[in-house]
Amino acid sequence: MENIKDKAAIVGVGYTVQGKVPGRSSMSFHLEAARNAIADAGLKIEDVDGLLMQPPMAAMGDPMVAPAYLSQQLGIRVRFMAAHDDWGASAGCLAQHAAWAVVHGMANYVVCTYGENALSGAGEYGNALNGGIEYGMFGAVAGYALAARRGMHEFGTGPETWKEIAIAQRRWANLNPNARYYQQPMTVEDYYNSRMIVDPFRRADICLVSDGGRAFIVTTAERARDLRHRSVFIMGMGQDHPSTNVPQATHLAGPSGAVVSGATAFKIAGITTDDIDACEIYDCFTYTVELTLMGYGFFGPGEGKDFLKAERLAPGGDFPVNTSGGQLSEAYFQGFTPLAEAIMQLRGDAGERQLGPVTNTREPEIIIVSGNGGVLQTHSTLILRR
């Protein structure tokens, strides 16, 4: 395989209003995110000649979000386009495919978008994800809670470990004005008092549901140097999609898709876990963070209990994880949340929560980003550097 290392870069990030934003279509969030990403990169609309997007779950009555409708409304004519639904792994997969496209001249600037009125719209996040509704298995929470229970059995972790993840991420969110839980701390008591939803998961283990969107722009490393922000280079990338139906899956308690996806990304980047300054990990549930970090090789089975301590993961710690507050405490955008945060941190645009002297943490050179979808059925990895 031709080495893709450092050949492509992410040059713009688009945020939208986010949180509870009633009265908006999913399409409108895609558009707002995309135009903000184009503006953030300092590009003219006509520069953008590629478009990749992750469709929202179809909500009744909501305008259909298809790539051609997006390019139509953005007023761009693209020569590279696709809709991609790898669920929560999509953000990373889109970035990878955009990277290959720009490196091979299929497009110069690819805008990658996501948006959804997930909180206020008519979509059904509580529906069964992999079947089982006849047994009262509703929502993604069922599959992940089953995975997490098995993880407790195999790795000796559980709520006492997951609370460390939830509390650390909340401490990051406390520094992020965009976050749902800005300035709202979580104590150990708050975690344990959080309502039990599907045992072993409490509310505090489960991600937010948010209205809003995110977008980013991928171009070649050379073109990136001429643009206004500090370039964020795609150093390594990987995917692995176990796909297996939940009951049959052996990846519920590892080895998850993170193992092969991460190893591929580390190999391309030519680095090891020791070179990583921070982790932006797809966190639909606290357990997903544990399983992903283990899959990437930061610790082994049975070691999570000792490794995952809030003081290490939180501001001031030596192993920062999910520095925006993540999808547990900032906002949930299907994996665009961790990816956008990695870019902001590497650019030095993260404000009060900026890694480095501001938060008494290591200056970030290299950040690993994960995406994960279905019930641990899809996985993508990006290693980004500045």
Partner 1 sequence: MVYEKPLPVINEDNAPYWEYCRSHELRMQKCTDCGYVRFPVSIVCPKCNSMAAEWTPLSGKGRVYSYVVYHMAYHPSYKGDIPYIVAIIQLDEGPRMESNITDCKTEDVRIDMPVEVYFDDVTEDISLPKFRPAA
Residue 198 lies near partner 1 (rule: CB under 8 A): yes
Supply the DSSP string of 26-56, one letter for each residue: HHHHHHHHHHHHHHHHT--GGG--EEEEPPP
Question: Is 246 a binder of partner 1 (CB under 8 A)?
Answer: yes
Residue 129 touching partner 1 (CB under 8 A) = no
Question: Smallest distance, Å, CB 4 to partner 1?
Answer: 31
Contacts (CB under 8 A) with partner 1, residues 148-167:
149-150, 153
Question: Smallest gap, in angstroms, from Cβ of residue 84 to partner 1?
Answer: 24
- Is 137 a binder of partner 1 (CB under 8 A)? yes
Binding-site member from 64, 133, 185, 187 for partner 1 (CB under 8 A): 133
Indicate whether 245 belongs to the interface with partner 1 (CB under 8 A): yes
111: β partners: 51, 217
Tokens 């893709």 locate to: 4
The interface region with partner 1, picked from 2-10, 46-54, 178-186, 239-247 by CB under 8 A, is: 239-247
Is the CB of residue 101 less than 8 Å from the CB of residue 110? yes
CB of 286 to partner 1, least distance (A): 15
Q: Please, what is the minimum distance in Å from the beta carbon of residue 58 to partner 1?
A: 17
Catalytic hit among 114, 191, 287, 332: 332
Q: Is 118 in the site for partner 1 (CB under 8 A)?
A: no
- Cα(306)–Cα(65) distance, rounded to whole angstroms? 45
The answer to the question of residue 248 lying near partner 1 (CB under 8 A) is: yes
- CA gap 85, 4 in Å, rounded: 23
Nearer to partner 1, 248 or 272 (CB): 248
Q: How far apart are CA 121 and CA 211, in angstroms?
A: 8
Contact region with partner 1 (CB under 8 A), list: 21-29, 197-205, 226-234, 299-307: 197-205
247/270 with CB nearer partner 1? 247
Distance (Å, whole) CA 181 – CA 169:
10
**What is the C-alpha to C-alpha distance for residues 189 and 352, in angstroms, rounded to an integer?**
26
Q: Contact, 353 vs 176, CB < 8 A? A: yes
Residue 125 is among the residues annotated as catalytic for this protein: no
Beta bridge partners of 53: 83, 113
Is 296 designated active site? Answer: no
Which one of the listed residues 15, 114, 144, 282 is annotated catalytic? 282
Closest approach, Cβ 361 to partner 1, in A, equals 36
Single-letter residue type at 24: R
Choose which of 53, 74, 118, 147 interacts with partner 1 (CB under 8 A).
147
357 forms part of the interface with partner 1 (CB under 8 A)? no
Q: Which is nearer to partner 1, 100 or 138 (CB)?
A: 138
Under a CB-based contact definition with an 8 Å cutoff, are residues 254 and 295 in contact? yes
Neighbours of 323 (CB within 10 A): 33
Per CB under 8 A, 100 contacts partner 1: no
Structure tokens at 226: 């001429």
DSSP characters for 265-298? HHHHHT--GGG--EEE---SBHHHHHHHHHHTTS
Task: Determine if 196 is a binding residue for partner 1 (CB under 8 A).
Answer: yes
> Is there binding between residue 126 and partner 1 (CB under 8 A)?
yes
Mapped onto helix, strand or coil, the DSSP state of residue 177 is: coil
CB of 180 to partner 1, least distance (A): 20
Stretch that binds partner 1, among 134-142, 256-264, 298-306, 353-361 (CB under 8 A): 134-142
Decide: is 318 part of the binding site for partner 1 (CB under 8 A).
no
98 binds partner 1 (CB under 8 A): no
| Position 301 contacts partner 1 (CB under 8 A) | no
Residues in the chain: 386
Residue at token pair 């939830």: 166
Query: Is residue 200 a contact point for partner 1 (CB under 8 A)?
Result: yes
Can you tell me whether residue 171 is helix, strand or coil?
helix
Q: How many Cα atoms occupy the beta-carbon half-sphere of 245 within 13 Å? A: 6
The span from the CA of 302 to the CA of 264, in Å, is 24
Task: Report the interface residues with partner 1, using CB under 8 A.
Answer: 126, 128, 131-139, 142, 145-147, 149-150, 153, 195-201, 245-248, 252
Which positions are catalytic?
282, 332
